[in-house]
């Protein structure tokens, strides 16, 4: 193809304290499907947000067909035929309007002259657009009645209607089932044959190899290179994505691993958790690895009874437990430090004392009455144990730093009598110093012969902290590995759906 | 020592007096004291024992309904059906004695039982069906008011009331029952004791027991509370059941005071109760529903209304004052939350 298409040259983007993009070059030819990949934080989303006008680049130029263009806001991007479809499709659609109205939204908002709307025309145009894509969604349906994948189709339809030349799909397949994904790929193919370039962001390398012609790899805000898919394999791309040696900040904990204390058999449940079999031994840290959207959070929530279980068996200390809700799970001896700290982990408008004593409140009560002295004593002990930096135990959690808030969320469980601790991304958004302290606290738990399940998308944490690891892909366990015999390449391979046919 | 400093010295980072912080904590109390001083000086015979007990008695029903509402507010809910529940309870109490001729104890127990059941239905609709609390309890308010009036066949129930079939009502409202609303102990009306007792019990329940704390945590962040192992649905149910129960107590006291079961007798108290509960948020900088604040909120409204009446302030303009006091109280609370 001779058409030059879209080019970004020397794009840099600086956030306070972080250089998110550093002189990145990126180009897409007319009518090609181009993958943009990199680990979390590599700068993929930032680059696409620069292209779609959400961020202002601090340096660099953008060309379309060798003409320099200026993109200062999302409207500029749209004018130049650049449209982005985010993973959170619901933010871009109005649920109580019809499919037709949503497809024609930009027309209704911006281009419509006069006061009256020609509804017949709207319906006709919208259904023609859907036909072009080979879709049979009734355009008179309300968007709120659609499935998630249909909503994506509507957004792609909107882009096609507005004659987008460059369609950016940001992790479109993460929430989709296999059939829905196949359908999406068919549509990508149709769109491509109409001369539209598709930029495809995904963590799933097997998909990328299925539909993309070229791959651009980013790492730590820099361009690694761009490659023809035909010349690469999943393994070589994984190497390019990582390309760095891992340094260890993990404290060593030498614990004799005991017998099985927790076992899950054939677990299925809400959130796409599908036939999961895992077990945890006493004194063992078991990792749940996998990319964002692999189902790690869904799995730990299901284990804790926070979401609905469809089938399967959970055994704790030889006793069959089936927590219907978190309250039952706590009674059974489970503890969960959830991912969304401020929304789920702590109650920010309350004090450290109130938060840290919440799961164990019964211990500090005489009958129904709380004992203020015991509460205070317990809170002070927790503050000392987990190392919270605060002037007093009455300090509101909202006034603490992220790391200290997380220590409260951890501390409230560490003092409990739970047998098995579930951690979901406990170091997310936590500074380096606090991270090391959190690792140490978890090490302290296994020394007491507790079982720990540690879900994270950071491979370095899996390799540094755990004894054994389950890799999740698409809601199920793709592999079970012994940590000391594995490496980042292997984890990434299984996380991206590779190695399944071997 | 540090704690004392936190409580009594209001200085900002530059060492200046922090007027906002002071108002946030003591604003409502200061306004109440100022109102008392103002009326004492400008209205003759205002600050007398007789008038004070008069104010307390006049707010007792409002305060009880507001305390009922406070229960639902703790779980971040809202119960508009409280006043209707109180009216219904009053009618049931009257009917139990006057028409059914049952023991007066049933005139207390049965209404409370019905009140709790209404709370149970509310919580079912809110938690299981997921209708918003405001709309559920609004609908329930209509239903109960209608049921109540149907139940009493459209008229008040009172001693010697003429019957449709001829003759008069067979039973009498017992004197002992009426004492709940009409008698005095040490020259202080009984309803005041009931109000103070319930307020104290609610205060202790909310602040000193684990159940109270679980209610607040459920209201503060239901998901975080649930993931901490609190059975949040049970506690939300409990809040509405207690709300219905306390509202029924208000109805029983009202029935005893009126000596009859009137049509929608507690209806007019609804909005004052809402105001009292919300003014209560700002008392002592609590920033959340609390029994002491609700009590003070009800008293503040009562003092203002009583003083204004005695100053011959037109009754139709009193709502202006109520509204402004509510805005000031809420303004302090929400401005602080934003900051």
Predicted confidence (pLDDT) at residue A141 exceeds the cutoff of 60 = yes
Higher-confidence residue of B11 and B118: namely B118
Q: Tens of pLDDT along A392-432?
A: 888 888 888 777 888 999 999 998 889 999 999 888 767 66
Strand partners, B45: none
Claim to verify: residue A412 and residue A423 sit in the same structural domain: no
pLDDT above 90 covers a percentage of chain B that reads: 52
pLDDT tier, A1 (very low <50, low <70, confident <90, very high otherwise): very low
Neighbours of B193 (CB within 10 A): 16
Q: What are the chain A neighbours of B213 within 8 Å (beta carbons)? A: 354, 358, 361, 370
Residue A79 and residue A135 in one domain: yes
A338 in contact with B, Cβ within 8 Å: yes
CA of B194 to nearest chain A CA: how many angstroms apart? Answer: 23
| Residues of chain B positioned with their CB less than 8 A from the CB of A369 | 208-210
- Of A385, A416, A447, the residue that ends a domain is A416
Each residue of A273-296: pLDDT tens digit?
Answer: 889 999 999 989 999 998 877 888
Q: Examine the domain organization and report whether A146 and A35 are in the same domain.
A: yes
Residue B6 has pLDDT above 80, yes or no: no
pLDDT of residue B14: 47
Coil, strand or helix at B117? helix
Whether residue B2 has pLDDT greater than 50: no
Q: What is the least distance, in Å, from the CA of A325 to any CA of chain B?
A: 8
Please give the DSSP secondary-structure letter assigned to residue A360: T
pLDDT at B7 exceeding the cut of 70: no
Between CA A336 and CA B261 the distance in angstroms is 53
Lowest-confidence pick of A204-208, B18-22, B35-39, B241-245:
B18-22
CB B62 within 8 A of CB B302: yes
| pLDDT value of position A247 | 44
pLDDT at A431 (0 to 100): 67
Q: Which residue of A has its CA nearest to B223?
A: A344
Question: Considering CB atoms only, which of A343, A359, A365 is closest to B229?
Answer: A359
Whether B198 contacts B69, CB under 8 Å: no
Does residue A55 lie within any of the structural domains? yes
Which DSSP helix (H) or strand (E) runs through A158? helix A148-161
Nearest CA in chain A to B218: A347
pLDDT score, position A155: 86
- The pLDDT of residue A18 is 66
Task: Summarize pLDDT for B222-251 with one digit per residue, the tens.
Answer: 999 999 999 999 999 999 999 999 999 999
User: Which of A331, A345, A370 has its CB closest to that of B224?
Assistant: A345
B144-197 pLDDT per residue, tens:
999 999 988 888 888 888 887 778 888 888 888 888 888 888 889 999 999 999
Q: Is the pLDDT of residue A383 over 60?
A: yes
- Domain ranges in chain B are 47-280
- Å between A287 CA and nearest CA of chain B: 21
What is the widest separation between alpha-carbon atoms in chain B?
80
* Burial of residue A231, with CB atoms counted within 10 A of its CB: 0-12 exposed, 13-18 middle, 19 or more buried: exposed
- Domain count within chain A: 3
Q: Is B224 on the interface with A (CB under 8 A)?
A: yes
Asked whether residue A246 carries a pLDDT value surpassing 50, the answer given is: no
* Residue-level pLDDT at B16: 57
Indicate whether A55 and A128 sit together in one domain: yes
Chain A: give the shortest CA distance to residue B202, in Å. 13
Which of A306, A327, A344 is opposite residue B231, by nearest beta carbon? Answer: A327
A452 and A435 in one domain? Answer: yes
* Chain B interface mutation, best of A323, A333, A341, A344, highest count of B Cβ atoms under 10 Å: A344
Residue A379 shares a structural domain with residue A451: no
Average pLDDT over every residue of A377-383: 92
* The two structure tokens encoding residue B130: 């997921």
Q: Which domain-ending residue is among A401, A416, A431?
A: A416
User: Does one domain contain both A37 and A184?
Assistant: yes
Of B213, B225, B228, the CB nearest to A370: B213
Angstrom CA distances, A85 to A59, A88, A147, stand at 25, 8, 16
pLDDT tier, A245 (very low <50, low <70, confident <90, very high otherwise): very low
Judgement on whether residues A272 and A233 belong to the same structural domain of the protein = no
Could you tell me if A271 and A221 lie in one domain?
no
Residues of B in contact with A304 (CB under 8 A): 227
pLDDT band for B338, please (50, 70, 90 cuts).
low
pLDDT digits (tens, 9 = 90+) for B308-317: 888 888 888 8
Among A416, A436, A452, the domain boundary falls at A416
Segment B253-264 mean pLDDT? 90
B53-93 tens-digit pLDDT: 999 998 999 999 999 999 999 999 999 999 999 999 999 99
Count chain A–chain B contacts defined by CB atoms under 8 A: 67
Structure tokens at A415: 């003092």
Find the CATH number of the domain harbouring A299.
3.40.50.300
Of B217, B227, B287, the CB nearest to A326: B227
Domain range for residue A265? 247-333+418-502
Regarding whether A26 and A94 lie in a shared domain, the answer is: yes
Q: For position B56, what pLDDT does the model report? A: 92
Query: Comparing C-alpha atoms, which of A60, A45, A53 is closest to residue A83?
Result: A53
Is the Cβ of B214 closer than 8 Å to some Cβ of chain A? yes
Q: What pLDDT score does B12 carry?
A: 46
Cβ of B338 under 8 Å from any chain A Cβ? Answer: no
Q: What is the distance, to the nearest Å, from the Cα of residue A489 to the centroid of all Cα atoms in its chain?
A: 20
- What residues of chain B lie within 8 A of the CB of A368, using their CB? 209-211
**Contact assessment for residue B278 and residue B330, using Cβ atoms and an 8 Å cutoff:** yes
Chain B residues within 8 A of A393 when measuring between CB atoms? none
* Residue B5 banded pLDDT, cuts 50, 70, 90: very low
Q: Å from A383 to nearest chain B CA?
A: 18
Best of A306, A350, A415, A423 to substitute, by most chain B Cβ atoms within 10 angstroms, is A350
For residues A136 and A203, membership in a common domain is answered with yes
Mean pLDDT on A123-136: 82
Interface residue B235 vs chain A (CB under 8 A) = no
Q: Which of A7-21, A324-338, A453-467, B281-295 has the lowest mean pLDDT?
A: A7-21
- The shortest C-alpha distance from A200 to chain B (Å) reads 35
Q: Position of tokens 């704790």?
A: A316
Chain B residue whose CA is closest to A410: B228
Placement of tokens 């209708």 in the chain: B131
- The candidate with the shortest Cα–Cα distance to A358, out of A407, A404, A408, is A408
Q: Is B221 on the interface with A (CB under 8 A)?
A: yes
Identity of the residue in A329, A330, A370 whose CB atom sits nearest the CB atom of B210: A370
Per residue in A164-223, pLDDT (tens digit) is 889 998 888 766 777 778 888 888 888 888 888 999 988 778 888 888 999 999 887 888
A1 lies in some domain:
no
pLDDT at A40: 61
Q: Is A124 on the interface with B (CB under 8 A)?
A: no
Q: Is B201 on the interface with A (CB under 8 A)?
A: no
Residue A160 is predicted with a pLDDT of: 81
Residues A137 and A116 in one domain: yes
Q: Which residues pair with A260 in a beta bridge?
A: A281
Query: What is residue B13's predicted lDDT score, i.e. its pLDDT?
Result: 45
In chain B, whose CA is at the least distance from the CA of A332? Answer: B229
Task: Give CA torsion, residues A67, A70, A71, A72, to 10 deg.
Answer: 180
Kindly report the pTM of this predicted structure.
Answer: 0.76
A289-320: buried (b, 16+ CB within 10 Å) or exposed (e) per residue?
A: bbbebbbbbbbbbbbbbbbebeebebbbbeee
Which of the four pLDDT bands, split at 50, 70 and 90, describes residue B44? confident
């Amino acid at each position: 193809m001779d058409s030059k298409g879209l080019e970004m040259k020397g794009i840099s983007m600086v956030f306070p304290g972080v250089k998110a993009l550093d002189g990145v070059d990126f180009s897409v030819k007319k009518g090609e499907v181009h993958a943009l990949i990199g680990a979390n934080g590599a700068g993929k989303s930032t680059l696409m947000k620069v292209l779609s006008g959400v961020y202002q680049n601090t340096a660099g130029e953008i060309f379309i067909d060798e003409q320099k263009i200026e993109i200062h806001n999302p409207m500029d991007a749209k004018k130049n035929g650049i449209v982005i479809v985010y993973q959170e499709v619901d933010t871009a659609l109005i649920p109580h309007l019809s499919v037709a109205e949503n497809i024609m939204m930009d027309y209704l908002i911006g281009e419509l002259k006069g006061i009256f709307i020609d509804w017949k025309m709207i319906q006709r145009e919208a259904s023609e657009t859907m036909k072009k894509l080979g879709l049979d969604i009734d355009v008179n349906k309300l968007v709120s009645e659609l499935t998630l994948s249909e909503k994506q189709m509507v957004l792609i339809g909107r882009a096609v209607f507005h004659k987008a030349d460059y369609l950016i799909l940001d992790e479109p397949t993460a929430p989709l089932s296999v059939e829905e994904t196949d359908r999406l790929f068919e549509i990508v193919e149709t769109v491509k044959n109409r001369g539209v370039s598709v930029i495809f962001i995904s963590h799933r390398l097997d998909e990328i190899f299925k539909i993309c012609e070229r791959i651009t790899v980013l790492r730590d805000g820099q361009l690694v290179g761009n490659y023809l898919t035909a010349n690469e394999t999943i393994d070589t791309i994984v190497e390019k994505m990582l390309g760095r040696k891992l340094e260890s900040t993990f404290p060593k904990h030498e614990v004799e691993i005991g017998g099985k204390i927790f076992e899950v058999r054939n677990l299925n449940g809400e959130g796409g958790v599908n036939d999961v079999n895992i077990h945890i031994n006493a004194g063992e840290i078991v990792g749940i690895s996998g990319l964002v959207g692999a189902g790690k959070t869904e799995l730990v929530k299901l284990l804790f009874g926070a979401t609905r279980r469809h089938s399967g068996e959970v055994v704790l200390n030889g006793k069959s437990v089936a927590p219907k809700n978190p309250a039952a799970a706590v009674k059974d001896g489970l503890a969960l430090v959830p991912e969304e700290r401020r929304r789920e982990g702590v109650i920010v408008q309350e004090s450290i004392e109130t938060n840290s004593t919440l799961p164990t409140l019964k211990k500090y009560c005489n009958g129904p009455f709380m004992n203020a002295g015991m509460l205070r004593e317990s809170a002070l002990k927790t503050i000392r144990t987990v190392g919270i930096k605060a002037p007093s135990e009455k300090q509101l959690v909202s006034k603490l730093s992220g790391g200290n808030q997380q220590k409260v969320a951890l501390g409230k469980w560490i003092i409990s009598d739970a047998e098995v601790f579930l951690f979901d991304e406990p170091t997310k958004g936590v500074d380096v110093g606090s991270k090391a302290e959190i690792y140490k606290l978890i090490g302290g738990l296994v020394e007491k012969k507790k079982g720990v399940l540690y879900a994270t998308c950071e491979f370095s944490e899996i390799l540094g902290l755990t004894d054994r690891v389950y890799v999740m892909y698409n809601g199920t366990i793709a592999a079970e590995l012994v940590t000391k015999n594995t490496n980042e390449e292997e984890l990434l391979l299984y996380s991206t759906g590779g190695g399944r046919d071997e | 020592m540090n704690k004392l400093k936190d409580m009594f010295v209001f200085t900002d980072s530059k060492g200046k007096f922090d007027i906002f912080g002071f108002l946030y904590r003591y604003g409502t109390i200061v306004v109440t004291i100022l109102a008392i001083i103002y009326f004492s000086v400008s209205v003759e015979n205002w600050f007398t024992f007789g008038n004070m007990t008069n104010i307390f008695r006049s707010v007792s029903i409002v305060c009880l309904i507001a305390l009922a509402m406070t229960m639902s507010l703790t779980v971040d809910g809202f119960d508009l059906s409280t006043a209707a529940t109180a009216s219904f309870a009053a009618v049931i109490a009257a009917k139990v004695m006057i028409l059914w001729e049952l023991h007066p104890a049933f005139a207390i127990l049965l209404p409370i039982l019905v009140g709790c059941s209404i709370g149970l239905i509310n919580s079912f609709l809110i938690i299981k069906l997921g209708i918003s609390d405001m709309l559920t309890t609004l609908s329930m308010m209509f239903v109960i008011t209608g049921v109540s009036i149907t139940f009493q066949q459209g008229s008040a129930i009172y001693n010697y009331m003429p019957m449709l079939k001829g003759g008069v009502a067979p039973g009498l409202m017992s004197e002992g029952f009426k004492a709940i609303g009409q008698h005095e102990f040490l020259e202080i009306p009984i309803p005041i004791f009931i109000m103070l007792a319930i307020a104290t019990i609610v205060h202790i329940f909310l602040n000193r027991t684990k159940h109270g704390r679980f209610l607040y945590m459920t209201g503060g962040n239901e998901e975080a509370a649930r993931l901490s192992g609190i059975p949040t649905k049970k506690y939300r149910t409990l809040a509405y059941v207690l709300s219905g129960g306390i509202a029924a107590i208000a109805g029983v006291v009202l029935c005893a005071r009126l000596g009859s079961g009137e049509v929608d007798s507690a209806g007019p108290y609804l909005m004052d109760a809402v105001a009292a509960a919300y003014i209560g948020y700002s008392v002592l900088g609590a920033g959340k529903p609390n029994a002491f604040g609700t009590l003070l909120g009800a008293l503040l409204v009562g003092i203002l209304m009583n003083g204004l009446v005695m100053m011959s302030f037109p009754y139709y303009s009193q709502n202006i004052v109520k509204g402004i006091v509510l805005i000031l109280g809420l303004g302090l609370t929400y401005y602080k939350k934003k900051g």
